[in-house]
Amino acid sequence: MSQQYDHITVEKNREKQTATIILDRPEKMNYVSMLGRQHLTQIFDELNRDEEVRVIVIKGAGDKCFTAGGDIPGFLEVHQEELSHLADNVAAPERSPKPVIAQLQGYTFGVGCEIAMACDFRIAAEDTQLALPEMNLGQIPGSGGTQRIAKIVGLTRAKDMIMRARRIPAQEAYQWGLLTKVVPKDQLEAEVDSLVAELVRFSPLAQKVAKEVLNASEDSPISVGIKLEGKAYGLLRSTQDYLEGTTAFVEKRKPNFTGK
């Protein structure tokens, strides 16, 4: 990457066509500073333009946690107007045109939970705990947590989690639909690698369009979503990747997608 970020490291793997964003403050449970939140947007903007990167992974440094949350004392130093827009930075994974995987372990609290909910896939170790504990501070989640949790699990469970500041263990979170998959901790890295290898097999253009359609239609009536899906389907019909995919199917070979 082209610059230094506040306790966030980015590693590229050209062979795997991935970039891994590491929340890198293990001695302090990988907490994310206010500056780090801003840097998260910058990192995604750069990776979104990088044609060598097909899939983005975000994880925490060390083996104890994804992140225990944000810089709580730092909130007191920021004007309330800025605090009103925290969700913009945390939504960077959701805005990315590329698949984003959250690799979770241990504490995934506060902004960590909110970042994870903005990702497309959430692969979690068995020791993962999800929580939005802001109620303990006389506050509510402010980076999209109330909205994304409620969309995923429904209002009753969202209230149970947020209004009681409950810690949701991995298996319960999986049952609620908050996690894509739960695996033993020693298999977490391999499981994420396996998902990356699966995703890079597909057309990057089709992946981008699928993500756009799914995200855009989430709050729309089904009739609007179906129209959007149909237009996107017709658009992809004219791409080289679609021609390659159908030709490869007929010829009984693996397709070579180029994103065009």
Nearest Cα neighbor of 168 from 180, 179, 181, 156 is: 179
Q: Is 51 among the residues known to form the active site?
A: no
Q: Please tell me the distance from the alpha carbon of residue 173 to that of residue 127, in angstroms, as a whole number.
A: 11
Among 11, 114, 212, 229, the active-site one is 114
Residues 153-167 as b/e (b if ≥16 CB within 10 A, e otherwise) read beeebbeebbeeebb
Q: Is 251 among the residues known to form the active site?
A: no
Among 15, 52, 134, 218, the active-site one is 134
Q: Concatenate the DSSP letters of all residues of the chain into one string.
A: --S-BTTEEEEEETTTTEEEEEE--GGGTTPBPHHHHHHHHHHHHHHHH-TT--EEEEEESSSSEEE--B-HHHHTTS-HHHHTTHHHHHTHHHH-SS-EEEEE-BEEETHHHHHHHTSSEEEEETT-EEE-GGGGGT----SSHHHHHHHHH-HHHHHHHHTTT--EEHHHHHHHTS-SEEE-GGGHHHHHHHHHHHHTTS-HHHHHHHHHHHHHHTTS-HHHHHHHHHHHHHHHTTSHHHHHHHHHHHTTS-------
Nearest Cα neighbor of 116 from 141, 81, 80, 79 is: 141
Enumerate the active-site residues.
114, 134
